[in-house]
Amino acid sequence: MKLKALFLAATLAAGTMVLPAAHAADIQTRLIRFGYGLNQDSNQGRAVQVFADEVAKLSGGKMKIRAVGAAALGSDVQMQQALIGGAQEMMVGSTATLVGITPEMALWDTPFLFNSGEEADQVLDGKTGQAIMHKLEDKGLVGLVYWENGFRNLTNSQKPVTSVEDFSGLKLRVMQNNVFLDTFQRLGANAVPLPFSELFTALETKTVDGQENPYNTILSSKFYEVQKYLSITNHVYSPWIVTASKKWWDGLSADERDVLLKAAAVSRDFERKDTRQEADKALAQLKADGMQINTVSPEAVQKMRETIAPVNAQIEKAVGSDLWNAVQDQLKEIRKQ
């Protein structure tokens, strides 16, 4: 009896010692619905494909991403609700559309906050950016990584916008949060919040005169077909964020989460590079497609900044001075280098 027990203990010990090396990853066969708002042929669509390929590779083909673009699963806001409820697993969308859920996301809508994409990378991937991302978890969402949407520029069907005065009388679609609404109202525009999925039709039917988005999106969503003027304002950088349903995420194994996090990091690095490369070429393409493009003088940009300065105080109030100052301090550090 004693010997037998000893033998059993020895076998068990040997077994446990061998286990970690022979341990097959704890990965189930899973179908993951991943929604996004832009066309498949866009920087967003390309990066979703990179994510899908990487997930398949890292999971030995067991985890399969079913990517659905062009808002076929709904607008950003509708998909967020589906994630929170557990009816959809993953998505990528604008942080601006998350402000109603996690007010701290409003930080990224601060006009003229970043001077370059690289500055944005450092802040978003740094302590404050990650802290804000993790706040989503209290609301039923898990943030994985930030992607670049890009610096936003103004388009419209009426006139070149070269000064603050030119905003007056323009009916502009804005993203669905108070920061964007307030910013464009202060500039004198008639701001209309609309989901991105309704934007092309709204422009085509002249329900609105204009909108603002990065060059990449103006191109991939074919806004040049319904917008004559493009004014280079670079007024804000608000990113995209890849999120998962927390309800679903909580049921995944550590290995499965690891696959998704690793693939998300690969997609992020690809996406930022791809987006920056495309942005450089997109402006020339938009010109070739017939858009009339104008720059805005530094003086006019300064006037814009002054006109919308009160928005900053409101954002600081909404996100709290600690987060606001942390980003300002980090930017000062970055700019010293």
Binding site for ligand TF8 (CB under 6 A): 37-38, 76, 93-94, 97, 149, 175, 196, 213, 217
> What's the min distance (Å) between Cβ of 285 and ligand TF8?
18
> What's the min distance (Å) between Cβ of 97 and ligand TF8?
6
Query: Looking at beta carbons only, is 149 or 267 nearer to ligand TF8?
Result: 149
Kindly state the DSSP code that residue 37 receives in the 8-state scheme: S
Comparing every residue's Cβ against ligand TF8, the nearest one is 37
| Radius of gyration (C-alpha) of the chain in whole angstroms | 23
Separation CA 79–CA 83 (nearest Å): 6
Query: Looking at beta carbons only, is 69 or 129 nearer to ligand TF8?
Result: 69
> What's the min distance (Å) between Cβ of 47 and ligand TF8?
12
> What's the min distance (Å) between Cβ of 94 and ligand TF8?
4
> What's the min distance (Å) between Cβ of 183 and ligand TF8?
14
Query: Looking at beta carbons only, is 59 or 220 nearer to ligand TF8?
Result: 220
Query: Looking at beta carbons only, is 108 or 324 nearer to ligand TF8?
Result: 108
> What's the min distance (Å) between Cβ of 19 and ligand TF8?
44
Query: Looking at beta carbons only, is 155 or 213 nearer to ligand TF8?
Result: 213
Three-state secondary-structure class, residue 290 = coil
Q: Tokens 């802290």 — which residue?
A: 131
E strand or H helix at 30: strand 30-35
Closest C-alpha to 180, from 77, 311, 323, 36: 311
> What sign results for the dihedral spanned by CA atoms 276, 279, 284, 285?
positive
> What's the min distance (Å) between Cβ of 272 and ligand TF8?
15
Q: State the pairing for strand pair 229-232/210-213.
A: unpaired
Q: Are 97 and 177 in contact (CB under 8 A)?
A: yes
Closest C-alpha to 46, from 266, 212, 259: 266
Separation CA 34–CA 92 (nearest Å): 8
Can you point out the beta strands (E) in 214-284? 229-232, 240-245
Separation CA 11–CA 102 (nearest Å): 52
Query: Looking at beta carbons only, is 57 or 100 nearer to ligand TF8?
Result: 100
Query: Looking at beta carbons only, is 136 or 175 nearer to ligand TF8?
Result: 175
